[in-house]
Structure formats: C-alpha cells, structure tokens
Amino acid sequence: MRLQGAVIKEQGVTFAVVIVKPHIIDNTNEANQMIAAMRPVFPGLPVILMAQDYQGVPTYYGRKDISQFMANVPLGCVPWAEYSFG
C-alpha cells in the first residue's frame, strides 16, 4: 500500500504527518488505530494525521503540540512524499 506523508524536523522535534480521509479523523478509534498502524512506517516518530475538508482546509489529529504547530504551517511548505508499506 502507499500513502502520502511527510517527515518534518522542527524545533528539535522530528515527526511524521500522514494524509488520511476526513472520516478517519472524525472517529477517534479509527484515528488512533491509523496512528498505531503507521508506527512501523515511521519508527520512533510521533505520527500526526491530516485530512482536508471539501474546501481544502486541513485538520490535524495527534499529539496536541505538534497538531497546533502544523495548523499554522502552509500546506505548500510541507515536504510531501509517497511512502510504501505493508
């Protein structure tokens, strides 16, 4: 399987952001399961989920400090890449 995501290092913290469908973030259990499933893809890194609404506005789920930080980062500045897993 493939996913779109990014590994970001900012202010001494390295973390991963993974793009998901909005219904994943809307369901806490599914969001937590997705984060757990992404840990082998990004070992040792906190994983944050990002979904966009129909207008392209992002919403983040995961570690609160990182989610709040990412809410202020323009999507065009994120180094998105494709990752394979499974």
pTM listed for this prediction = 0.94
CA dihedral 37, 27, 1, 78 (to 10 degrees): -90
- CA 6, chain centre distance (Å): 8
What's the pLDDT tens digit per position in 36-78? 999 999 999 999 999 999 999 999 999 999 999 999 999 999 9
Residue 85 clears pLDDT 80, i.e. is over it = no
What's the pLDDT tens digit per position in 20-38? 999 999 999 999 999 999 9
Specify the pLDDT at position 72: 94
User: If 0-12 CB within 10 Å is exposed, 13-18 middle and 19+ buried, where does residue 24 land?
Assistant: buried
For residue 1, name the pLDDT band (cuts at 50, 70, 90).
confident
